[in-house]
Structure 1
Amino acid sequence: MSLDQIVALELEGKSYSLAAVLRSAIMQGTFRAIDDYMDNALIEAYAEEHHITADKEDVQAAVVDWRVEKELYQAADVEKWLAARSLTTADLARNARMKVLKERVKQHITSGKVERYFAENRSQFDAAAVSQIVVTERGLARELAFKAQEGAEFYVLARHYSADEPTRLAGGFIGRVERTQLPRAVAAHMFGAVPGTIAGPLEVAKKYYVVKLEEMYPAELDADIRARIERILFEEWLCLKRKQASSHIPLWEQD
C-alpha cells in the first residue's frame, strides 16, 4: 500500500492521504511525529546505557491497555485496525515496548528529585477556592467590591451583576484552582491572603474583576502532584537531551 492510499485525516467528509500530509510537512519544515520519534530514540539510548529493559509481561499489559483504549477487544478487530494503516503486530509490540521504556526511564530520571523540586516550587501547587464577579465598567466593579466588603452577600451580587455566564449562576464560584489557572492579577491578590479576602477592581483583558477567596489549600506532595512533577522533570530532561543531541532532519533538506 502506497502512502497515497493511507488516509491520514478525514475532515468534513473529505479524506487526506498520508502522502499529502507529509508533502505539506516537508514544505513547512515541521512534523511533530519526527520530534516524537527523536524523543523515543533518546529514551531508548538512555535505557540501553543504564540497562533499563521492558519485561515481556509489561509489554503485553501495555498492548492490552492500548486495545482497551481503542476499544479493540477481538483479535480480528486489532488485525483489521493495523492492516488499514499498513502496520503489523510487530509495530504494535514496538509501540507498547516504547511506552513501558518511557515510563521506566522517567522513573529513573526523576528518582530522588521530586521532593526537592516540590520544596523549591511548593507555591506553584497551592490551590484556592475562589469566587468572582466580572463586569465591563470599573466604576461598577468598585461599587460591588465596596458592597461585598461591607457585608453584602457575594453570591447575590455575582448572580445579579456578573457578566461571566459560566460562573454567574453559581454565585460567581469558580471552584478549586491553582495559581496558574487564574489571571496573574487575580492570583497575586488571592494566594497568600486569608479566606474571606475580597479584592478589586482588577483589570484583566478590558474587564474588571471583583474576587473573593473562599478557602486556601496549601499543597501537599500527594500522588497527583508527584506524578505532575515527574512529568515536568522528565520533560526538562528531554528538552536538554534534544539540545545536546547531534541531529538533523534530511527530510527538510530535500530539493
Structure 2
Amino acid sequence: MLAEAQAANTEALDSDDPRGWFARYPRFLSSSRTDVRGRRMAYRHRALIERHASILDGARVLDLASHDGRWSFAALQAGARHVTGIEAKPELLQRAHANLQAYSVPASRYHFVQGDCLRTLRDLRPGQFDCVLCFGFLYHTLSHFDLLQAIATLGARHLILDTLLLDDPNASVRLAFDDPAQEGAALATSNADGRALVGIPSRHALQVMLTHLGFELADIDWRKIATSGWDGVQDYYKGRRHSLLATRCQPLASAPRSITSGPDTALLESVPAAQVGDRTLSLAEVLRHARTRGDTGFVEHAIGHALIVSAAERAGIEVNDAERERLKLQYLASPQGRAYQASTADSAELDTQLDDCLRFGKLKGQVVGDRVRTFFEQGRGDLDEVWLAQIVVADEQQAMKVWTGLLAGEDFEAAARRCSLDEDSAVGGGFIGRRRFADIAPELVERIRATEVGELVAPQSHADVWWLFKVLRKRPARLDARTRSELHLALFERWLEAERERTRVEIPLWSMV
C-alpha cells in the first residue's frame, strides 16, 4: 500500500513543489550552487530522466561531467543497473560520493572517476554502457567531435544531451572563454591567461557530427516540460539551451574498418604486429581497428577480431549473396549508411564489413546456442527484483525501540519520517523503490528473501548502522528480450575470454615501440 501511495503522490509532489523530484533528495539542492534556481532542477529531471525512464531502466549508464552526482543518482533511482561518473574537479567528486552514500546507494551500483572526460572516455572498453548522459558539458569543451566520436566508439545505444546551442542555421561553432574558478566551468586550457577556451556549437553542427557517427537526433519539446511557468529556465524558453536524444542507428559494430590504400600500404602489410594462434596480423590489419578505438585498446580489439575470424573459419560459416544484399539495403537506408556513401565509394570494403557482421552473428548463435535459458536459470536469483521501504537508525537500542513500535501497529511511513537517519527514506516515508537482489548487501539478502510481501524484516546491522525493512512487492526475474540480449552477450564474451586464454598470443608490435 505504501508503494501505491508513493506512486500516486509523485506527480502531485513534483508539480506542487518547485523542487519537484529533488524535494525528496534535498542534499542535491545544497551540495552545489549550479542550476538550483527556480524550478530548474525539477524541470530538468522531468525532461532528462523521467522522459527517458524506459531507456534508463536496467541500463548501464555513463555520466559525463557528473558534478555532485545528482544525475547519476537520478538515473539509478530511475532503474539504471549501474552508473559510472566522470568528473574533473575533486571537490565535486567528493560531494558526489558523500551524496550517494548519504542516500544509501550500494557502492556496487556506481563508480566515480576523477579525470578529463575525453581522455577518460578513450580508456573505457567498448560495450560497457547502454546510455550516456552529457548534461551541461558540450559547451565546456572545444573538442566536440572528438568527444562525440569517443562516445560513439563505446557502442552505447542512446546519448541524452542537454546543452547550449547557437541560433545559427549553419554548421558552426562560436569560440568563448570559461572562467575555471566557477564551479561548473571547464578546466584552464592555457597557463598564459588561466582561462579555458571552449566552443558553443549550432544545432546544425551537432546534427552533422552525430549523423556522421551514425546517430539520429531528436529534440525534446520543453513546452511540454515547463507546465507551471518558466521560472529558472528562461534559457530553454528563449531557445538558447536544448535537451536532445541521440539514438544509434543499426551499426556495423563488429566489422573491421580498412585503411586507405596508398604507397605505404604494402610496407604496413609486411610488418608483423601480432601472432594469434596460427594467424599473423600485419601492422596494417591491426591499424584498421585504431579507427574504432582511438587508443591502445585497438590492439586487443584486433586480437579479439582475429579469434572470432579463426573460429568462424573452423566452423565453416559462410555468407551468401542474398544475405549480404539484404543487410546492405538495410544499412544504406540508415543515416549512418548515407553518411558512409557520402564519404567513400569503396563497395568492396563495405561488402567485407557486411560479410564479417553476418559471420560473427552466425558464430555467436553457434557459440551460445540454447544456453541462454540455462544461464538465466543459474543466475536468476540475482536478477529477482524487490520493492522496499526502509528505516535507518544509529544503534541497536533505537532499532529495537522502532521495531517494537512497528509491531504494536505504528505506521511504517510515519516512523520513517520521524526517525530515519537516511534523508531519502525520511523524506519519502521509507520508500526506496526497486532493487535487484544482486545490488543488495549479501548479509541482507537472505532475510529479505525470506520475508513475505507486506511483512517487516527484523532489525539488521550493516555498514555501522541499523536497518529495518518492509517488503512492498517482489517480482521474479523474467527472461524478456532485454535480459535475453544481455545474457547472450555475456555468454559470448565468456567464450571469447576463454579463447584468448587458450590461444598463444604474441605482440611483437610492442617491441618496436
Return the TM-score normalized by structure 2. Answer: 0.37
State how far apart, in whole Å, the 1-side matches of 2:415 and 2:393 are: 11
State how far apart, in whole Å, the 1-side matches of 2:393 and 2:316 are: 59
Deviations 1:166-207 (A, max 9, x none): 444332223232210111122221124311332243233323
Structure 1 residues 121 and 90, CA gap change in structure 2 (3 angstroms): same
Deviations 1:106-125 (A, max 9, x none): 22222121222233333232
State how far apart, in whole Å, the 1-side matches of 2:470 and 2:505 are: 51
Q: Which runs of 5+ in 1 are unaligned?
A: 1-7, 17-29, 83-87
State how far apart, in whole Å, the 2-side matches of 1:51 and 1:239 are: 21
Partner of 2:405: 147
Equivalences for residues 29-108 of structure 1 within 5 A: 31-53=296-318, 55-56=323-324, 57-58=326-327, 61=330, 67=335, 75=339, 79=343, 100-108=358-366
> Which residue among 213, 221, 233 is the counterpart of 2:471?
213
Code of the aligned partner of 1:44: V
Code of the aligned partner of 1:42: L
Structure 1 residues 201 and 90, CA gap change in structure 2 (3 angstroms): farther
Deviations 1:81-130 (A, max 9, x none): x9xxxxx8877776666555444332222212122223333323222222
Partner of 1:248: 506
Q: Is the 8 A contact 1:126 1:179 kept in 2?
A: yes
Structure 1 residues 97 and 159, CA gap change in structure 2 (3 angstroms): farther
Residue 235 of structure 1 pairs with residue 493 of structure 2: yes
Structure 1 residues 115 and 151, CA gap change in structure 2 (3 angstroms): same
Per-residue deviation, 1:236: 1.7
State how far apart, in whole Å, the 1-side matches of 2:478 and 2:392 are: 31
Structure 1 residues 47 and 206, CA gap change in structure 2 (3 angstroms): same
Match of 1:240, SS? helix
Identity of aligned residues (%): 24
Code of the aligned partner of 1:148: L
> Which residue among 391, 401, 420 is the counterpart of 1:133?
391
Structure 1 residues 207 and 98, CA gap change in structure 2 (3 angstroms): farther
Match of 2:301, SS? helix
State how far apart, in whole Å, the 2-side matches of 1:14 and 1:222 are: 42
State how far apart, in whole Å, the 1-side matches of 2:351 and 2:398 are: 62
Deviations 1:46-100 (A, max 9, x none): 22322335632325545766x4xxxx69638963xx9xxxxx8877776666555
State how far apart, in whole Å, the 2-side matches of 1:119 and 1:36 are: 31
Report 1 or 2 for greater relative contact order, CA contacts < 8 Å, sequence distance ≥ 6. Answer: 1
Q: Is the 8 A contact 2:393 2:467 kept in 1?
A: yes
RMSD between aligned residues: 3.6
Q: Is the 8 A contact 2:331 2:337 kept in 1?
A: no
Per-residue deviation, 1:241: 0.9
Match of 1:195, SS? coil
Structure that is richer in helix per residue: 1
Deviations 1:147-167 (A, max 9, x none): 233332222222333333344
State how far apart, in whole Å, the 1-side matches of 2:486 and 2:494 are: 12
Structure 1 residues 160 and 236, CA gap change in structure 2 (3 angstroms): same
Q: Which runs of 5+ in 2 are unaligned?
A: 1-116, 121-139, 147-294
> Which residue among 363, 366, 372 is the counterpart of 1:114?
372
State how far apart, in whole Å, the 1-side matches of 2:423 and 2:352 are: 48
Partner of 2:420: 162
Code of the aligned partner of 2:327: D
> Which residue among 191, 195, 202 is the counterpart of 2:453?
195
Q: Is the 8 A contact 2:455 2:471 kept in 1?
A: yes
